[in-house]
Amino acid sequence: MADMILKKSALADFIKSLSGSYKVFTPSREGQEVKFASNQGKVLLDFQNTLLSPKDFFFPQSERMFEYSTDPAAADAFILKDIATEPEPRLVFGIRPCDARAFVILDRIFKNDQYTDSYWFARREATTLIGLGCQNPCPTCFCLSVGGGPFSEEGLDVLACDLGETLLFKPLTEKGQQALDKAEGLAEADDKTSQEAARIKEQAEAAISSRISTDKIDEKTVMELYEAPHWEVVQERCLNCGVCTFVCPTCHCFDIQDEVAGKVGDRIRNWDTCMSWLFTQHGSGHNPRADKTSRVRQRFMHKFKYIPMKRGGDIGCVGCGRCIMLCPVNIDVRDVVRDMNA
Ligand code: SF4
Ligand code: SF4
């Protein structure tokens, strides 16, 4: 699989040529916000990251899973019927490497020895990801400290690098190569161009000054971390608003509810958050995380202790920094991890 280049002036035609085979999403600016959208005329390349994580490509905020009739006279009353999920082929251009790594972490959560989440994987399989390396990381980006990097390839099908007048495309998977084969305007890159991309990657990594260490968290026992006094300090500020979990690319908790209108019912799953008191409320009335300290602690312990313990060592945070930028009371995950690692 050879690296390919594309003149930026041909980018619109490149996207158009892919539109025959995929529904193509590209970054676009709407007011202050950058988001992925389809059918965009101009492809935005000069942005740091989308405001919201792109996890909703595979895990929508609200999703119908089953439908059923509530009409007692119907032969199939209260029989759950699958909502057919045959996602169309999609291609997402310009996804950031940290967000692609988050999908790999979630793959391991949505598939384990006992269970495979067909909703997640049907969309994953139908989607091709062309990543865009980050040349201007935010001051809040700390991907290098959690196993990633501004040009990390993990989870991507193709990685693109902005070389000024041209874009370099590095195919990483068969799926990525197939997409490039369908695209117009590409030419094979020479060694000099690939070397220039390697130089840009080094420069981007050097530009990330925000670092944390997690090595001691590994060595500490769950109880040692659980009983640490710093949770009381963090919980005092936290509003339990849940913003950090909703914007997080690896948060994946959901609740399942039935909604009935007339004689038809839908079983729906919606994003939920461990910051919510109701999230762990049992039918008996008992709540194992009834106080704010236990809810705040759960968010950080889950990402930095429980996920690495249970899912092969990888930390459940990709360092995108969204929770730092958007927390209304400036709780900074890096400070919390420094306390956990002290
Ligand atoms: S965004 Fe900040 S205040 Fe809101 S739940 Fe998260 S840590 Fe607490
Ligand atoms: S955390 Fe790393 S990969 Fe993510 S936007 Fe920042 S620099 Fe890019």
Question: Tens digits of per-residue pLDDT, 126-169?
Answer: 999 999 999 999 999 999 999 999 999 999 999 999 999 999 99
- Looking at residue 108, what is its pLDDT? 93
Cα of 327 vs centre of ligand 1, distance in Å, is 5
- Looking at residue 311, what is its pLDDT? 82
Q: Which two tokens stand for residue 221?
A: 């026992």
Strands (E), the chain: 4-7, 23-30, 33-38, 62-69, 81-82, 90-95, 127-132, 158-162, 166-171, 187-188, 254-261, 264-271
For the chain (length 342 residues), average pLDDT per consecutive 10?
Answer: 95 94 95 88 89 96 96 93 89 98 96 92 97 96 97 98 96 98 96 94 95 94 96 96 97 96 96 94 94 96 95 92 97 98 96
- Pocket test of ligand 2: the residue of 134, 144, 161 to mutate, having most ligand atoms within 8 Å of its CB, is 134
Q: Residue 124 and residue 173: Cα distance in Å, rounded?
A: 14
Query: Computed over its alpha carbons, how large is the radius of gyration of the chain?
Result: 22
**Whether the CB of 101 sits within 6 Å of ligand 2:** no
The residues, ordered by sequence, that sit 6+ positions from 103 with a Cβ below 8 Å of its Cβ are: 55, 58, 124, 129, 155, 249
**Whether the CB of 256 sits within 6 Å of ligand 1:** no
